[in-house]
Structure 1
């Protein structure tokens, strides 16, 4: 009985022997008229209850995920000399932005079973329940979505960019593009050893429009008629002003 109690006391200590402490350079990103993207610095440390051992070294994985929304992916085929939509698959939830940064090659720092459990890689972060019965290669639609968003800088795989000093301090930077979706961006840190996750931590960065951009955005959603009339009026006044300025320059 005493032996069992001793084991129960030791297990929590071992499970929490190494935990990750996270820091962010900012917890909010404001989108303004001249917003051309942003860069966030993710840094942290490994908190230990015991000294560093000679076991297999730790590795660090950082993920940043934007708001997830359904996406319809269409495939085009050439028919009679023109390209037409031939098939479509609706992906149930795909992050608008997703970045994975690691301290080493991904295949070395993460086991597949751990990826399945924590949904770390881009493929696992996308949720696609099913496809129409007449589509046999639905996985290709998900691959195409990932490929297109990678080309646009919205999906990123950054292997070996996490600096991990003395198995204690780590840091990395992730570039966010200009075409961000508003909402909460979930930042997760995973400590792994031998590909298995030993600790994880999560925080949220909020991205949103501010100032005049926010007011115009809310006006377009709450009062679209007023927004449309105002847009037309501004366009007419701008055209009239440009025409008047051109006439003055021509007559001078």
Structure 2
């Protein structure tokens, strides 16, 4: 009896995903050295299918790159008695140090609000700001101000149309990591979409780490702060003495 029921159960079970992602990165490790001025990452992949290409809405691809998240305090300066002072602040629970979104088309056209909420695709959804309304009036304006500042610093980017898709199968995009990177793991997420819905996802990781002199200074500052402070004072004194001696020689 069980032998006859097994095929029926298999037929009644949900079908396997018809489309999945096979992807790669040009590099999965970035070293920050003294002369580091940024890095360009090639993200590429293909769509693996268990069935013919579905008819109807064309395939869309979104690629996000997210840096380590940290709490952020956003302050507003107001002019009081002719002096600009910090008059209000909002604490954002967690904000990515870097976030880039690359797509095959306009985000508003290829991604539904429901899927955006579920997968936190856009920069606004990637920022978690819980309970900020009680800290200041118009708290959302503080978050928008942070978005503008980090966008101007090239740390937040929306690259609509930057993903190249060939024959609904092969895709690629280039994401430039800036020179002011935060050390840690950068999560790369890839999404396949049809009719505004995510049909397949995949994650990869890029590890960013300080190396050489940068690593030595970073480690000393965190593990031996007293020695780091004393060494900084000695170096500053030597630099000042050298500048004074050179000035006297010139005169």
TM-score (norm 1): 0.91
**How many equivalent residue pairs?**
246
Q: What is the CA–CA distance in structure 2 between the aligned matches of 1:86 and 1:237, rounded to whole Å?
A: 41
Are 1:6 and 2:7 an aligned pair? Answer: no
Q: What is the correspondence of 1:123-138 to structure 2 with a 5 Å cutoff? A: 123-131=124-132, 133=134, 135-138=136-139
User: Once superposed, what is the RMSD of the aligned Cα atoms?
Assistant: 1.8
TM-score (norm 2): 0.92
Structure 1 match to 2:45: 44
Q: What is the correspondence of 1:193-208 to structure 2 with a 5 Å cutoff? A: 193-208=194-209
Displacement of 1:162 in angstroms is: 0.2
Describe the superposition over 1:172-213 as per-residue Cα deviations: whole angstroms up to 9, x where unpaired: 011111111111001000000011000000011111110121
Structure 2 match to 1:189: 190
Q: What is the CA–CA distance in structure 2 between the aligned matches of 1:84 and 1:111, rounded to whole Å?
A: 41
Q: Secondary structure at the match of 1:130?
A: coil
Describe the superposition over 1:31-81 as per-residue Cα deviations: whole angstroms up to 9, x where unpaired: 011111111111111011112232311100000001111001112222222
Displacement of 1:237 in angstroms is: 2.8
Q: What is the CA–CA distance in structure 2 between the aligned matches of 1:68 and 1:53, rounded to whole Å?
A: 37
Q: What is the CA–CA distance in structure 2 between the aligned matches of 1:111 and 1:234, rounded to whole Å?
A: 56
Displacement of 1:246 in angstroms is: 5.3
Structure 2 match to 1:31: 32
Structure 1 stretches lacking a partner, 5+ long? none
Are 1:61 and 2:62 an aligned pair? Answer: yes
